[in-house]
């Protein structure tokens, strides 16, 4: 298999992984929207199946990614200095998000991105619905999505398509795809692409996927907490 064929095959593999991410992240939203059509035992069964699938997916992606990590990277520990740098990346991401949101408001009139609107639009269903579905939804926002998205967009994408070490090309390409999946217009695409680049830079600093996962969690968890407060208060 020549280099072009290998890159093409790896591109298809990455596309498949992205489809898996989309379905994994969207499943709790679908369950919440159609929960009134489901019986109690069916709901519990779906929660169990979804939990098992997500756990398997995280373990599988992690082991796959670790196969491409060298021994020195695998031994890296996270110090308080690293946490501080990650917090600086978080502030940079907030600047990108705030500026992007303001521009989007001025141009489109939307108070938040379509991605956020879809999430916050489920509040009524979350308040009145099946509690385990709500918990799954909140865990996906704060924990699951950051893990699987970073493993695929920053980790495996770098190994599959950019093993030669072209960091800037990897940052731009993977972030454009990341942004596309979270956006509904050009401004949102640019904004989420910018966030993707911040996540990638956090990863690329030490080539440690744990850094970008932690950053992504810090970015997402406040939204999950805000939604939880709106639901349970």
**DSSP per-residue letters across 37-48:** GS-HHHHHHHHH
- Candidates 214, 3, 227; CA nearest to 93 is 214
75 three-state secondary structure: coil
Q: Is the dihedral of CA 82, 86, 87, 91 positive or negative?
A: positive
What span, in angstroms and rounded, lies between the C-alpha atoms of 157 and 12?
11
Cα–Cα separations (whole angstroms), residue 64 to 120, 151, 160: 33, 9, 11
How many domains does the chain contain in total?
1
Q: Walk along the chain (233 residues) and give the pLDDT tens digit of each residue.
A: 777 788 899 999 999 999 999 999 999 999 988 888 888 899 999 999 999 999 999 999 999 999 988 888 778 899 999 999 999 999 999 999 999 999 988 887 776 666 666 666 666 667 778 899 999 999 999 999 999 999 999 999 999 988 766 788 999 999 999 999 988 889 999 999 999 999 999 999 999 999 999 999 999 999 899 888 888 87
Residue 233 token pair:
């208060």
What range defines the domain where residue 13 resides? 3-232
207 three-state secondary structure: coil
Taking the model in full, what pTM does it have? 0.92
CB atoms within 10 A of CB 34: 10
| pLDDT for 190 | 95
């Amino acid at each position: 298999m020549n280099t072009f064929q290998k890159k093409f095959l790896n591109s298809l593999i990455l596309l498949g992984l992205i489809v898996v991410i989309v379905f994994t992240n969207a499943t709790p939203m679908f369950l919440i929207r159609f929960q009134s059509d489901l019986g109690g035992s069916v709901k519990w069964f779906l929660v169990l199946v979804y939990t098992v699938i997500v756990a398997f997916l995280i373990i599988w992606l992690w082991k796959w990614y670790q196969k491409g990590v060298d021994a020195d990277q695998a031994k890296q520990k996270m110090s308080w200095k690293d946490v501080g740098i990650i917090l600086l990346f978080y502030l940079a991401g907030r600047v990108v998000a705030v500026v992007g949101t303001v521009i989007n408001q001025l141009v489109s009139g939307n108070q938040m991105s379509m991605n956020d609107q879809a999430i916050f639009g489920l509040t009524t269903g979350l308040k009145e619905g099946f509690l385990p579905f709500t918990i799954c939804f909140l865990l996906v926002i704060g924990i699951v999505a950051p893990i699987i998205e970073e493993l695929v967009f920053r980790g495996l994408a770098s190994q599959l398509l950019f093993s030669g070490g072209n960091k800037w090309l990897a940052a731009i390409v993977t972030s454009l795809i990341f942004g596309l999946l979270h956006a509904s217009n050009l401004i949102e695409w640019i904004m989420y692409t910018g966030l993707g680049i911040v996540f990638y830079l956090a990863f690329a600093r030490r080539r440690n996927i744990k850094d970008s996962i932690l950053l992504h969690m810090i970015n997402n968890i406040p939204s999950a907490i805000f939604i939880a407060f709106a639901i349970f208060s």
